[in-house]
Structure 1
Amino acid sequence: MSTTPNNEKSDKTVPFTTAEDAAKLANGIASSSAPSSTAAADLVNRVADKAHATIDRLATTAAPKAQQLQKSLEDTNELLHDRAERLRSTGNEWCDSLRTNVREHPLTAIGTALAVGLLIARLTR
């Protein structure tokens, strides 16, 4: 598999080497000559071992950070739910207080509503 870089205008192609390509190369070398095939296979094995070691090291480093992030997200979620519940209860208390005041003083409530309505009408003209 080959491609040319987007920023170059040339006829040259750049092959991409994958683990499969390296294995095919090692198998092709193995079939052509026995001594060099062992060296190529050893090289592929060493590269694969180093890659596995690097991935393992990265995984052991990343796992605690991922757990820490998950814990932080859970704490934030809990905090947001608590605050939302407090806001709901505060809103319900205000509504109950307003209902009580309107029931105790209906004429004052009607007068206040009329005054607010007139103020809004003046501001919107």
Structure 2
Amino acid sequence: MSTTPNNEKSDKTVPFTKSEDVAKAANGSTPSSTAAVDLVNRVADKAHATIDRLATSAAPAAQQLQKSLEDTNVALHDRADRLRATGNEWCDGLRANVREHPLMAIGAAVALGMLIARLTR
């Protein structure tokens, strides 16, 4: 598995894609360039292993978080629907009371208006 893409369509310039390319660019295989290539390969392999391990452990947590968010979204929508229905029931009940007792509704509105006027002075 290569760490850099070897793709001609890529807009990025990739100087070396394989350890053999690094060795060729070093103008011969000297012991220090071979050691450097080996070091780079070991570091890249360890980085790949670490990334794979992190991805493996993070995937279930991400799925659990997504499931939790979906459940929360459903619960919030249900609660909003129930609150909307309750508000509609209260409004319907209030309208029915006003229709049954119009004079009492007018008297309550006048009393409430006077109370608010006194409190705001």
Pairwise TM-score range, normalised by the shorter structure: 0.7 to 0.9
Deviation at 1:31, TM superposition (A): 2.3
What residue is the counterpart of 2:26 in the other structure?
Answer: 30
Query: In terms of mean alpha carbon deviation, does 102-111 or 34-43 score higher?
Result: 34-43
**Partners of 2:108 and 2:26 in 1: CA distance:** 95
**Partners of 2:61 and 2:94 in 1: CA distance:** 49
1:99 equivalent in alignment to 2:99: no
What is the TM-score with the length of structure 1 in the denominator? 0.75
What is the number of residues matched between the two proteins? Answer: 103
1:121 equivalent in alignment to 2:112: no
1:80 equivalent in alignment to 2:81: no
Structure 2 residues without counterparts, runs of 5 or longer: 1-14
What residue is the counterpart of 1:70 in the other structure?
Answer: 66
Structure 1 residues without counterparts, runs of 5 or longer: 1-19
Question: Higher RCO, 1 or 2 (CA under 8 Å, sep at least 6)?
Answer: 2
Deviation at 1:42, TM superposition (A): 1.0
Q: Deviations over 1:9-65 (max 9, x none)?
A: xxxxxxxxxxx7xx8xx6598326523222211111111001000000000000000
> Which structure 1 residue ranges, 4+ long, deviate > 6 Å from structure 2?
none
Q: Quote the sequence identity (%).
A: 77
1:47 equivalent in alignment to 2:63: no
Contact 1:102 1:109 in 2 (8 A): yes
Tell me the amino acid that sits aligned with residue 108 of structure 2.
T
For residue 31 of structure 1, give the secondary structure of its aligned residue in structure 2.
coil
What is the TM-score with the length of structure 2 in the denominator? 0.77
**Partners of 1:68 and 1:33 in 2: CA distance:** 51
Q: Report the aligned-residue RMSD.
A: 2.1
